[in-house]
Structure 1
């Protein structure tokens, strides 16, 4: 499967795999997943890379939200945040844009999980490939990715 799924299996994490046919013309990947899988959009989380003062960080947030860069920088105890370059995000994580999973990235980065995840017993995140999602408990994601819950 993918490095993300392999890691979940190795760690004995309870998860469910969901597949859908990705439309190459779609670029709003989390919303596409929610729509095609019949999921609540606010329960499908996207994984983005954010550059805070020259250091990459991972932001995991609902498909319905945009990263508040000012709040994200503050949560990382930084001054300035901007979205990471797509090519750098792919190189750093080992995943393609639209399939970046929070799990089993090439390089472990400081990770923030949006507080909205606490509203659900499970959330959906990319399994490391476009058209492939995993359903996991937010606490398991937080533990496995060493992610802090934050408002951003």
Structure 2
């Protein structure tokens, strides 16, 4: 990663302090975020997963702890919508420019609203996808909120 990914380049351009952390990605893992937490030896509550969703048909990026499930009604409410659903993986890849398992909230091809689970802000450092499979960025959650313009909200079931 000498040049960096779009995600790490976006963080550098924003002047955000972060550490890129590589891990052994398992393409056969049932839950990618949980596999990342295990490979990193980290609390799954600190390893956040990036989910591309549709709220009332419009794209929204949701960030939640890897060991939790998103409550779609809570996500919709966080952006003043009525209904939310997961975005089909092929659409998520096309919209973000990343492949599933490597979708980062940073440096996406198109800027969309971002909502982050508020409990993640209690940790001094969290991990988010660094823009490729097997790469996470460790950073202060407040910096992620600032750079992404994220809305903190209760999102988990």
Alignment of 1:51-90 (within 5 A): 51-90=54-93
Partner secondary structure for residue 58 of structure 1: strand
Alignment pair present for 1:28 and 2:31: yes
Per the alignment, residue 6 of structure 1 pairs with 9
* CA distance in structure 1 between the partners assigned to 2:25 and 2:77 by the alignment: 35
CA RMSD of aligned residues (A): 0.9
TM-score, normalised to structure 1's length? 0.97
Partner secondary structure for residue 7 of structure 1: helix
**Equivalent pair of 1:47/1:58 in contact (CA under 8 Å):** yes
Partner secondary structure for residue 27 of structure 2: coil
Residue 28 of structure 1 deviates from its aligned partner by 1.4
Residue in structure 2 matching 1:19, options 22, 27, 51: 22
Per the alignment, residue 99 of structure 2 pairs with 96
Partner secondary structure for residue 101 of structure 1: coil
* CA distance in structure 1 between the partners assigned to 2:36 and 2:85 by the alignment: 25
Greater alpha carbon shift after TM alignment, 103-112 vs 2-11: 2-11
* CA distance in structure 1 between the partners assigned to 2:102 and 2:57 by the alignment: 23
Q: Which runs of 5+ in 2 are unaligned?
A: none
Equivalent residue pairs, number: 152
Alignment pair present for 1:49 and 2:52: yes
Residue 128 of structure 1 deviates from its aligned partner by 0.5
Alignment pair present for 1:38 and 2:38: no
TM-score, normalised to structure 2's length? 0.94
Residue 27 of structure 1 deviates from its aligned partner by 3.9
* CA distance in structure 2 between the partners assigned to 1:100 and 1:113 by the alignment: 15
Q: Which runs of 5+ in 1 are unaligned?
A: none
